[in-house]
Amino acid sequence: MRTSRLLRKTGSLLLAASLLGTSIAPAQAAMVGTAQVIAAEQGSLDRARLVSLLEREDLQRQLTAMGVDVRQARERIASLTDAEVAQLNVRIGELPAGGATVLGVFVLLLIVLVITDAMGVTDVFSFVHPAK
């Protein structure tokens, strides 16, 4: 009985000492600027763009042919800083890409066909009525 009383007192003293020893940090609140929010969101959008590029089968084949594991490439993209991701996206945007070129040619071809339909030279689209 004497030891249990001693243990209770010692436990109570240790608990009180641990509670007194902890310091509570004051909470701080500040205004978050628009630029900070936009920068954070832009970083996640840039990172999502790179990850979506890795989902393309042709890119996965090329990476595999070069000996790069797609899973490791995803892990490396996840470990990049926002500035590095933005720089990589800028460089990708500057490179000539087959997909963007094909899309541009397709849109140009559609515009030419609509104009020639409107002039009455061709009759490709039924919704375009030639000018008289």
84-127 pLDDT, tens digit per residue, is 878 877 877 776 655 555 566 666 677 776 777 777 777 766 77
Tell me, yes or no, if the pTM score tops 0.95: no
Separation of alpha carbons 54 and 70, rounded Å:
7
Indicate the DSSP class of residue 121.
S
Helix (H) or strand (E) holding 43: helix 34-54
Separation of alpha carbons 38 and 35, rounded Å:
5
Q: Report pLDDT digits (tens) over 23-37.
A: 666 777 788 888 888
SS3 call for 114: helix
